């Protein structure tokens, strides 16, 4: 049993207390069932992600970082 909640939740709660609700719009998408099932294997207590939404947000951030690196290598990254 964990002594403290996942650090991500602690940070989000602290941010909420300081600055109010996060400005995160809802996004709806269709996704193949196999991808959802694969992602859910990594979601839950004692796993990498606290929720399916957290896993998807993390994947999007990593994709954007990779695209920024590619754009930077090709001189397309705006300052």
pLDDT in tens, 47-70: 889 899 889 989 999 999 999 999
According to the model, what pLDDT value does residue 77 have?
74
| Residue 24 DSSP label | -
User: Is 78 domain-assigned?
Assistant: no
Q: How much is the pLDDT for 1?
A: 45
- Other CB atoms within a 10 A radius of the CB of residue 41 amount to 10
| Rounded CA Rg of the chain | 16
Our CA dihedral for 78, 63, 27, 50, rounded to 10 degrees, sits at -130
Q: In the chain, count of helices (H) and strands (E)? A: 3, 0
- Whether 17 maps to a domain, the answer reads yes
* Higher local confidence (pLDDT), 71 or 19: 71
Query: pLDDT tens, 21-53?
Result: 667 778 889 999 999 999 999 998 888 898 998
Number of domains in the chain: 1
- Which domain range does residue 38 map to? 7-73
Residue 24 lies in a domain: yes
């Amino acid at each position: 049993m964990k002594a403290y909640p996942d650090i991500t939740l602690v940070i989000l709660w602290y941010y909420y207390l300081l600055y109010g609700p996060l400005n995160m719009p809802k996004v709806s998408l269709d996704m193949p069932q196999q991808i959802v099932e694969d992602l859910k294997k990594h979601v839950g207590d004692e796993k990498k992600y606290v929720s399916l939404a957290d896993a998807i947000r993390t994947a999007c951030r990593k994709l954007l970082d990779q695209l920024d690196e590619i754009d930077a290598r090709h001189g397309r990254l705006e300052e």
